[in-house]
Amino acid sequence: MRFVTYNKTRFSRRLKQIIGSKHIKQKSVLAFKELIETDPEVYMLFSDMFSEPPADSSDNPIKNYMDMLRKMDAIIGAAPKFQYNSDDDDDYQDPAKPFGNILVYVVATPSGSKAFISDKVNKCLRDILRTWTKFLDSPQSKLVLNKKDGWLSPEALKRMPGFMDKFPCDKEDEYCGYKSWNDFFSRKFKPNVRPIANPDDPYTVVAACEASPYYISKNPQLRDKFWIKSQPYSLQQMLNNDPLSETFVGGTVFQAFLSSRYYHRWHAPVGGKIKRAFIKEAAFYADALRAGFDLTVGHLSQRYKSHVNTRAIILIDTGLEKIGTVAFIAIGMSEISSCLIEVKEGQTVKKGDQLGKFQYGGSTYCLLFQKGVKVKFADESLPADSANWSPCHKQLVRSKIATIEH
């Protein structure tokens, strides 16, 4: 599969510029260090992963786990800076994933693929990311939003076309009125910017997120080998063993990718009653070993991540025989695994209502339709050929994604 091409030399040079202190200061990082050094299995994995060159690369600028920990320690006190390589978006390295950029060379090694699905490792990573997100919610984090060289600079706005028209912005304020990095990242659209397609037609399904269509699968199975190279969907694992998993066997799965520059709130693809709404705490940096080395920090493993990463699972019962229950799964990728659900079980939602949001970066999501539901996807919802996929074609949130035949 061919994905977005990145300049590895410049990527490595930029990563080497992240300067970590000689002594680790953050308690959450010190706890991670203790786990690595006191648990024999974890120690073995984190020692070996740095000597196992991933496919296509042997120039990891992070030399060992102590180097990794020092750089993590330095990142916690900083918000992602806007950075770019050139005017060519295909050469754009996502700066909103600083932790992912550190780990990109080791997650797809044999030892890395085991380490980053470990519950013990992910507990430490969860604590590190929670420490970081406290900073991203603080006023200090907004300094990277400035209009000179930050996320509101002319160069940044070129990569977010129509920003001033779509999102609230106090033009008199250096930071457009945003109070923190996360306030900016999870920003809302202005009223009426994204109208709901056919709001009175229950058989029109709308996009739950602002995302690039990634994959459509027909006839998914209850259990499948989701870790192999083709990454088939395995419903029981995706839905965390929910009893309704079996009703989606033989149905349809739609998946789409959210760039860090996209809008990151979720909206109901259909109307109905919330039957399930819960967070499955799981992995953050798990990549499919057989997907190979991936400088995009996760694009190649999106289907795999829908089974093993932290995710929000929301099931909506439409009450309509021809649609039944639709499942929405918001899947965190790397540090963007803070999924916040804003609806409750038993609540009735209208199509297009807000369900929740991601925080802190790019992500992916799935819609699941039950067996027997005849889904006809709109042309603009069809992913590009998988051999040439890249996150360039964007499906607007609350626009028509499909029609259910009835």
Mean pLDDT of the chain: 86
Residue pair 249/371 in contact (Cβ under 8 Å)? The answer is yes
**Residue 135 DSSP code:** H
Closest CA to 105 of 214, 6, 225, 230: 6
pLDDT at site 96: 64
Q: For tokens 């829908």, name the residue.
A: 306
Structure tokens belonging to residue 107: 């997650």
Phi, psi (deg, nearest 5) at residue 189: -75, 155
Give residue-wise pLDDT tens across range 192-249.
Answer: 999 999 999 999 999 999 999 999 999 999 998 887 777 899 999 999 999 999 999 9
Residue type, 145: L
Residue pair 365/274 in contact (Cβ under 8 Å)? The answer is no
Is the pLDDT at 396 greater than 90, yes or no? yes
Q: What is the pTM of this model?
A: 0.88
pLDDT at site 89: 44
Residue 19 has a CB neighbour count (10 Å cut-off) of 8
Structure tokens belonging to residue 329: 């799964």
C-alpha to C-alpha distance for 220 and 238, rounded to whole angstroms: 11
- What's the half-sphere exposure (Cβ side, CA atoms, 13 Å) at 207? 29
Q: What percentage of the chain exceeds 70 in pLDDT?
A: 85
Task: Say which range, 65-69, 112-116, 336-340, 346-350, has the weakest mean pLDDT.
Answer: 336-340
C-alpha to C-alpha distance for 380 and 206, rounded to whole angstroms: 12
List C-alpha distances in Å: 264 to 31, 153, 267, 355, 360.
31, 21, 10, 11, 9
Q: Give how far the C-alpha of residue 110 lies from the chain's centroid of Cα atoms, to the nearest Å.
A: 23
**Residue 75 DSSP code:** H
C-alpha to C-alpha distance for 392 and 259, rounded to whole angstroms: 9
Is the pLDDT at 250 greater than 70, yes or no? yes
Give residue-wise pLDDT tens across range 366-386.
Answer: 999 999 999 999 988 888 765
C-alpha to C-alpha distance for 395 and 241, rounded to whole angstroms: 30
Is the pLDDT at 4 greater than 50, yes or no? no
Over 5-56, what HEC string results? CCCHHHHHHHHHCCCCCCCCCCHHHHHHHHHHHHCHHHHHHHHHHHHCCCCC
List C-alpha distances in Å: 392 to 90, 258, 384.
9, 10, 9
pLDDT at site 83: 76
**Residue 234 DSSP code:** B
Total count of residues recorded for the chain:
406
Question: Domain boundaries in the chain?
Answer: 204-404
pLDDT at site 87: 43
Residue type, 257: F
Closest CA to 102 of 388, 335, 382, 340: 335
pLDDT at site 321: 96
Structure tokens belonging to residue 187: 């920003």
Closest CA to 3 of 392, 401, 278: 392
pLDDT at site 298: 67
Residue type, 364: T
Is the pLDDT at 393 greater than 50, yes or no? yes
Local confidence band at 17 (pLDDT 50, 70, 90 cut-offs): very low
Is the pLDDT at 16 greater than 80, yes or no? no
Radius of gyration of the chain measured on its C-alpha atoms: 21
3-state secondary structure of 154: helix
Q: Give how far the C-alpha of residue 406 lies from the chain's centroid of Cα atoms, to the nearest Å.
A: 33
Give residue-wise pLDDT tens across range 73-122.
Answer: 999 988 988 876 544 443 334 566 788 888 888 888 899 999 999 999 99
Local confidence band at 289 (pLDDT 50, 70, 90 cut-offs): confident
Residue type, 390: S
C-alpha to C-alpha distance for 366 and 371, rounded to whole angstroms: 16
Phi, psi (deg, nearest 5) at residue 66: -70, -40
